[in-house]
Amino acid sequence: MDLEKLRKTAAEIVSRDDVKYLIGWRPGSFGYRVSPCFVQDAAGAEELIFSPLCASNLATYLTLVEKLPVPRGEEPDRRKVALLVKGCDSRAVVQLLVEKGIEREQVILVGLPCRGVVDLNLLQQKYPEGLEKGELSWQEGGFQLIRNGETATIPREEILAEKCRLCRYPNPVLSDVTIGDPVEPWETEADRGVEELEQKSVEERWDYWEEQFSKCIRCYSCRNACPLCYCDDCILDRLNPIWINRAVNFSENTAFHLARAFHLGGRCAECGECERACPMNIPLGKLNRKLAKEVREKYGYEAGVDPEAKPFLASYNPNDPEEFIL
Amino acid sequence: MTEKPKLGVYICHCGINIASTVDVEAVTEFAKGLPNVIVARNYAYMCSDPGQLLIKNDIKEEGVNRVVVASCSPRMHEPTFRKALQEAGLNPFFLEMANIREHCSWVHGDREEATAKARRLVAAAVAKVRQLEPLEEREVDAEPAALVIGGGIAGIQAALDIADAGFKVYLVEKTPSVGGRMAQLDKTFPTLDCSACILTPKMVDTASHPNIQLMTYSEVEEVSGYIGNFDVKVRKKARYVDFDKCTGCGECAAACRMANRIPNEFDAGMGKRSAIYLPFPQAVPAKYTIDPENCLYLTRGKCGKGPKCAEVCRAGAINFEQQDEIVEFKVGAIVVATGFDVFEARKKPEYGYADYPNVITGLEMERLVSASGPTGGQIKIKVEDEEIVPKEIAFIQCVGSRDKSVGNEYCSRVCCMYTAKQAHLVKDKIPDANVRVYYMDVRAFGKGFEEFYDRVRREGIHYIRGNPSEIFKRGSKLVIKVEDTLTATPMEDEVDLVVLAVGLEPRQDVRKIIDLLRLSQSPDLFFLEAHPKLRPVDTATDGVFLAGCCQGPKDIPDTVAQAKGAASSAMIPLARGKVKIGAQVATVNENTCRGCGFCVEICPYSAIELVAVNRFGHPVQVARVNEALCKGCGSCSAGCLSDSIQPKSFRDRQILPQIAALGVMR
């Protein structure tokens, strides 16, 4: 990864008058942690990194920013926001564009071809996280870990995140500048997680999800981490009518998770942030990927690949196969 | 509205339709105990005058301010009861109907259970009516003009009627001439009057009528807006002939290098025409058109040393530089009269239409017997390069009609009679011909039809009941394999000419009109009317009406009758000058709308657009509903992820208590 070029490009971008800031990653304060950072000036760009630890999807911040009331006589800040995007992150941005969540002129996308990020839990199982910082980088066939002055090589399969195993878009689908050479997409395995579930009986599936949903503590981290859950006024927060009761039990949890998954039907960019954010390790990605699979197979539609596409649930094609309609 | 809700509940017996299955007395007693109900009554026919009077009196005397009528589907009588409320001085939208007939008494047998269900339905309506809000219906101006799409007999008649009433009419026809299918016919059943003779005067009228703007060789490109205010864009295709200069003399067609080489559509492909042509002698307007697909100059950029047509045209009307022209105008109503196509006989390969030149369709037969047809009205066919007058002639009915194997289950309604007519004409022109008709059933249901059918049989036409299974060639003859089903005799019949009575189908390009006007199709794929019995010329799109065969197969009298019906319906908004806008429309919560535009894409009526608003200094986009276009269907609401758009009278806070009262929700 050409960090120098990334930092130089970022510095150039944030120095422009029409750019508010650039959102990227920088090393966290301990262990393997990586924090998002808002680079305001050229000096700040020196902190930027891009490594297999940069799993978080920064597109979330595009819609998270609070629009404070503009004092009378003043103009709202219309400066652009620059953003570092991996393949999956760029899909989220594209989906936001499709849904008019953001305007194309508002963002500058710095594309980063990505060879796959790691699942922090898997990494920690093998190399427990300490206070001292650890650095991870890509190398042929896997990852190189530098920690306590020691270097270790970890095979790719051991710690690669699940979403990256299934990734079909390692290169950004939309970007203004790209740092580094495009990555050759790798052989993706069939989505075993979803297929295994599909083959189970209804009772077995029910039991499986009962176990999973029962774990949920309704912290809504999955919703907050999702770049595509960005309604100012989420129906989960509404008091009149109360669509989903606040009680934390299997029934209400199930209602919540199904509502969340269905609100992402035909929209999910498969960045895996919901699952990564979940403190209870609920396999939310499986739900999302199941819906994405249905949409892909039944309608030939894939979310977040074409900024000119119409939103899936708002488009109608008279030639849809509609095999499921009797 | 802050006043305390005082509910009146009115339960209808509907004669015995409801009362025989539902214990209306018990439901009435139950209703009296529901919250805020101050009066509950039942009556034999709530929709009758005395029934309505009960409601009105309670509103006036008891102070009822919300009304629940438990009777039939709101589709029929909601307007009736709304009017009753209005007449009693109450906002007509303080009404909720509980459907205890279609949803209850008609579909259940057990009196106990049906009564229990009726109670729940009433309780649900009571729960909802308390949440309803007063709504106002508004009116907007209507443009006193109409668009008629299609220049066949239906379109011509509708246009003439509307124009005669004093309104401007834009008549748009796809082909270079008006006249449509009727102009192709020779004689009309059962009276045998000449089709062209009765049609031509009307065709001429459309061109000369001061209120009609006739646009032939034109297609409607875009329709937006709503009843009373449709914005229409029409593409006038380039004729490559100066419309004003052309005198219709025809010298160009005679001189054309492609003369007699292109199948003439008007003659159903039986005759030939030039690349510059007049579809038929009586064409209106009598102006020539160059067919850009076959003109040598337009396809290859070269025509000998120079286009002959331009050379011989003394008026200098030929203009190869002509471009399509887009015409825009505004109308208040639209009549769709796009007609039909005949069934493609190739889809029945067993009849050999594609293989044998002496197997022809009914429409081709019309041209063959017509005096203006390719043979000048003589029935001659070519068999093995020899032109003969056929003596053994068979007609086969129901080709492409009443036939599930080709996907057409319906009866085309005209084939029995046009076959009888053609059989008569054949017998008239070739008196020694042997004519037989293979039929499944003969449907002679119209005025004078049975008499005509009788007459034809007396003339010596044999009617043989049987559906031929195959046609093949033996020597110079065609052999029809068939079983006479009345005598159960399998037979082979040797004939010279077979006429397939092909049925009627929707136009091939019907999709274009559907997309243009947001129309629906019935299962037979013809356009769907708003109600099969009571609104046969209306469509689901207000202000768009149907005339003629685009709605379903029909003969000329029915087509003319429907065209006149469509014309008079279309004239209602034009004559009133105003149209009512429904009050139960979608509303947007602009504070929570995030401007994603899902609803804009979803709306089947194009009633929603995104507009820029200022939200605390930030320019944001939000959805806005054009209330004149909105039908309150609720599709937008279903598609909205942030729950920011809901139809009035069907808001969450109105529906959820209703569902809760049904006992479905806690």
Name which of A26-35, B128-137, B657-666 the model is least confident about. Answer: B657-666
Q: What value does the mean pLDDT take over residues A285-298? A: 91
Chain A, nearest residue to B652 by Cα: A241
The domain made up of B7-129 is a member of CATH 3.40.50 = yes
pLDDT, tens digit, 9 for 90 and up, residues B492-517 = 999 999 999 999 999 999 999 998 99
Chain A, nearest residue to B618 by Cα: A76
pLDDT, tens digit, 9 for 90 and up, residues A29-47 = 999 999 999 999 999 999 9
Distance (Å, whole) CA A113 – CA A56: 15
Q: What is the pLDDT of residue A235?
A: 80
What's the helix, strand, coil split of chain A in %, to 5? 35, 15, 50
Percent of chain B whose pLDDT exceeds 70 = 99
pLDDT, tens digit, 9 for 90 and up, residues B458-482 = 999 999 999 999 999 999 899 999 9
Count how many pairs of residues, chain A against chain B, have C-beta atoms within 8 Å.
63
Q: Do domains B145-236+325-339+527-578 and B342-505 have the same CATH topology?
A: yes
Query: Could A314 and B652 be called an inter-chain contact, meaning their C-beta atoms sit closer than 8 Å?
Result: no
Chain A interface includes B616 (CB < 8 A): yes
pLDDT, tens digit, 9 for 90 and up, residues A250-270 = 999 999 999 999 999 999 999
Please report, for chain B, the start and end positions of each structural domain, with discontinuous segments joined by +. Answer: 7-129, 145-236+325-339+527-578, 251-312, 342-505, 586-648
Predicted model pTM? 0.74
Distance (Å, whole) CA A172 – CA A132: 32
Chain B interface includes A128 (CB < 8 A): no
Which comes out higher in pLDDT, residue A72 or B53?
A: B53
State the average pLDDT for chain A. 91
The vertex-B38 CA angle with B32 and B41, nearest 5°, equals: 55
ipTM of the complex: 0.81
Q: What value does the mean pLDDT take over residues B156-175? A: 97
Domain B342-505 fold: FAD/NAD(P)-binding domain (3.50.50)
By Cβ distance, the residue of B591, B596, B615 closest to A100 is B596
Domain at B145-236+325-339+527-578: CATH architecture = 3-Layer(bba) Sandwich (3.50)
Q: Is pLDDT of A22 > 60?
A: yes
Q: What is the pLDDT of residue A41?
A: 93
Q: Is pLDDT of A183 > 80?
A: yes
- CA B559 to the chain's CA centroid: 11
Burial of B487 (0-12, 13-18, 19+ CB in 10 A): exposed
Q: Is pLDDT of B165 > 70?
A: yes
Query: Could B602 and A100 be called an inter-chain contact, meaning their C-beta atoms sit closer than 8 Å?
Result: no
Count of beta carbons in the 10 Å neighbourhood of residue B82? 21
Q: Is pLDDT of A318 > 90?
A: no
Interface test with B, best of A65, A105, A231 (most B CBs within 10 A): A231
Domain B586-648 fold: Alpha-Beta Plaits (3.30.70)
Residue from B660, B665, B588, B666 nearest B131 by CA: B660
Q: What is the pLDDT of residue B666?
A: 42
Per DSSP, the three-state class of A149 is: coil
By Cβ distance, the residue of A232, A234, A241 closest to B653 is A241
Query: Could A232 and B641 be called an inter-chain contact, meaning their C-beta atoms sit closer than 8 Å?
Result: no
Q: What is the pLDDT of residue B650?
A: 93
Q: What is the pLDDT of residue A232?
A: 79
Q: What value does the mean pLDDT take over residues B648-655? A: 92
Name which of A63-72, B206-215, B229-238 the model is least confident about. Answer: A63-72
Q: What is the pLDDT of residue B105?
A: 96
Tell me which chain A residues have a C-beta less than 8 angstroms from the C-beta of B644: 233
Distance (Å, whole) CA B158 – CA B336: 10
Minimal C-alpha gap between B593 and chain A (Å): 8
- pLDDT band of residue B605 (cuts 50, 70, 90) is confident
Q: What is the pLDDT of residue B418?
A: 96
Which comes out higher in pLDDT, residue B110 or A64?
A: B110
Name which of B135-139, B180-184, B215-219, B461-465 the model is least confident about. Answer: B135-139
Chain B, nearest residue to A68 by Cα: B616
Chain A interface includes B599 (CB < 8 A): yes
pLDDT, tens digit, 9 for 90 and up, residues B432-449 = 999 999 999 999 999 999
State the average pLDDT for chain B. 94
Percent of chain B whose pLDDT exceeds 90 = 85
Q: What is the pLDDT of residue B664?
A: 62
Q: What value does the mean pLDDT take over residues B517-538? A: 93
Name which of B83-87, B567-571, B598-602 the model is least confident about. Answer: B598-602
Q: What value does the mean pLDDT take over residues A45-69? A: 92
